[in-house]
Amino acid sequence: MNSGDWKTVKTLFPYLMEFRGRVSVAALFLILAKAAGVTVPIVFKHVVDSLDAKKGAIVLPIALLLLYGLLRFFNTLFGELRDAVFAKVTQRAIRRVALKVFLHLHTLSLRFHLERQTGGMSRDIERGTKGISFLLNFMLFNIIPTIVEIALVAVILLSRYDAWFAIIICITLAVYIAFTLAITEWRMIFRRMMNEMDSKANTRAIDSLLNYETVKYFSNEDYEAKRYDASLVTWENAAVRNQTSLAWLNAGQSAIIAVGITVLMWLASKGVAEKKMTIGDLVLVNAYMLQLYMPLNFLGFVYREIKHSLADMEKMFGLLERFPEVKDEKEATELVPGNAAVRFEHVDFSYEQDRQILFDVDFEIPAGKTVAVVGHSGSGKSTLSRLLFRFYEPERGRVMINGQDIRQVTQKSLRQAIGIVPQDTVLFNDTIYYNIAYGRLDAAREEVIEAAKMAHIHDFVESLPQAYDTLVGERGLKLSGGEKQRVAIARAILKNPSVLIFDEATSALDSKSEKAIQNELKRIAKDRTTLVIAHRLSTIVDSDRILVMENGRIIEQGTHRMLLERGGTYAHMWRLQQEEEKITVLE
């Protein structure tokens, strides 16, 4: 195995140390099982030899046969007890690793999650966790024990018979292992290709199904099928080559074992013919060869599967090596929201090195006041909320809440203090009640319903057959855009945060609903520090301050009246939107 494989194996050691007692007991059962297995052929030899004896031919075989049967039973029993004792170790390791990967994925930056391929990643994790089970069971309780068993048999043959018996076994073993390792390493190319294409096909399938309506809108079912099949064709070719090469590997292994057994049986038969060995000795050598044939053949299978498991685990553990872009400092403290005044101090930010988004953004949201940000698409408005949530770090400048630099407080305490109603609301595939209650998991049912009433969605929910137990579907697609947005508003209300962010919070609502919700949002925002990111200027005319952004810079700021009197960009945007509304009314 290469250094990367050993690194993967080492990551599993801490999970074994958690159950030292179980591992020790399992190892004891393993030793007992192997001892019974190695003793069986010796007892069988004496059974055969005793049948040739003239005295005690009736008594001795019965006793030996009983011992033979018991040893066979103990060999199986101790093996099963070993597996039963070790089962908790294996399953706990799978659970711990899966949980560790899951938690780690939640620590990674928004940039990672925007770039990830969900279908492929989920398949990598699924294969990786299955690989852990195989690796722990077979590497610990098959590879090492098999080598020990082969060594014991070689020692027994060397002590009882001609040295050539042990030499032939060692040569056969060496050739077998060398052949298996060489061919298996070559075959791993096909396995990795299969994994890559499997993940790619799964990514395309899930992406297509999540965008089911878009596929239907453009009648692109055949195109999606071709994209999916393109990955499956490559997977099929790799799978065929993988299976074909396996056939050649198995044939080669069988040939090596057959040659070794044939030579050993020739030596044993010669010894019997020359009166140097008994029939029992011939049976003993044959029994050991058959006994070794299975673990040797199994050793090849296990090594192949371990390599496959390591390949499967490679990508999953690779996820754990991805470092979070945003991390809490060692000395990070809990955020004390206090009056929750927010300040952006000369902030510069870029998503990519060659494309700066924000330039020297400097403004303040006084405690309990509402500041609105307007501007054309791509001006950097939504980036402000991402920086406030600390999904990204500013390249220059800092963001403050209640006089505390948010880089010096824990991300959890920061995000607990902020509530958001996003423009694009994505819901969990669960009930309406669950999605509202997600804002505060310990909220009473009465509080959840009160939040729904404040968001003007309670009456709609009660009109549904399942009421609050209605499932919203994947990403909330069973609800309209306006209904999803009102669920998001209810969720934010329930959270009861110190700082509120409305990112186009009413963009999916009709005019009548928008006015009702706007009045409610004003009431919710009262005495709270609020950042409103808006496109429709009519929704932010009562804001304490309005910032106008263009190409990542604040080019104007003031109240609605002040900006209109100034006759700049804001006044121009206002006139255009007023004219559009008049045309809409006339139509």
Number of structural domains found in the chain: 3
CA atoms within 13 A on the CB side of 124: 23
Q: Which pTM does this prediction carry?
A: 0.63
pLDDT of residue 198: 78
What tens digit of pLDDT does each residue of 27-62 get?
Answer: 788 778 877 877 877 777 777 767 765 444 455 567
Question: Domain end: 266, 291, 320, which one?
Answer: 320
508 plus 582 within the same structural domain: yes
Residue 499: strand, helix, or coil? strand
456 plus 529 within the same structural domain: no
pLDDT of residue 172: 82
Residues sharing a CB contact under 8 Å with residue 314, sequence separation 6 or more, in sequence order: 4, 8, 128
76 plus 211 within the same structural domain: yes
382 plus 457 within the same structural domain: no
504 plus 492 within the same structural domain: no
pLDDT of residue 38: 76
344 plus 311 within the same structural domain: no
pLDDT of residue 4: 55
Question: Domain end: 292, 320, 348, which one?
Answer: 320
484 plus 538 within the same structural domain: no
Question: b/e for 272-294, b at 16 or more Cβ within 10 A?
Answer: eeeeebbebbbbbbbbbbebbbe
- Biggest CA pair distance of the chain: 125
Between CA 390 and CA 406 the distance in angstroms is 8
Between CA 156 and CA 149 the distance in angstroms is 11
- Indicate the helix (H) or strand (E) that contains 526: none
Between CA 444 and CA 466 the distance in angstroms is 19
Between CA 516 and CA 457 the distance in angstroms is 11
CA distances from 277 to 45, 274, 288 (A): 11, 8, 15
Between CA 136 and CA 83 the distance in angstroms is 11
Range of the domain at 365: 328-417+499-587
Between CA 145 and CA 162 the distance in angstroms is 25
223 plus 304 within the same structural domain: yes
Question: b/e for 54-63, b at 16 or more Cβ within 10 A?
Answer: eeeeeebbee
pLDDT of residue 480: 78
- CATH number, position 462: 3.40.50.300
Pairing between β-strand 545-550 and β-strand 370-375 as defined by DSSP bridges:
parallel
pLDDT of residue 109: 64
Give yes or no for a contact between 126 and 195, defined as CB atoms under 8 angstroms apart: no
pLDDT of residue 426: 76
504 plus 491 within the same structural domain: no
pLDDT of residue 55: 45
Intervals of the chain under pLDDT 70:
1-12, 15, 49, 52-61, 107, 109-124, 127, 137, 139-144, 210, 212-214, 216-219, 293, 295-301, 304, 312, 314-315, 318-322, 324-326, 475-476, 505-517, 520, 580-587
Question: Domain end: 320, 337, 358, which one?
Answer: 320
86 plus 125 within the same structural domain: yes
Pairing between β-strand 370-375 and β-strand 529-533 as defined by DSSP bridges:
parallel
10 Å Cβ neighbour count for 308? 22
pLDDT of residue 97: 75
What tens digit of pLDDT does each residue of 216-239 get?
Answer: 656 677 878 887 888 788 888 888
Between CA 105 and CA 127 the distance in angstroms is 17
What tens digit of pLDDT does each residue of 357-377 get?
Answer: 888 888 888 888 888 888 887
pLDDT of residue 582: 63
- CATH number, position 37: 1.20.1560.10
435 plus 524 within the same structural domain: no
Determine phi and psi for 342, rounding to 5 degrees: -115, 140
470 plus 445 within the same structural domain: yes
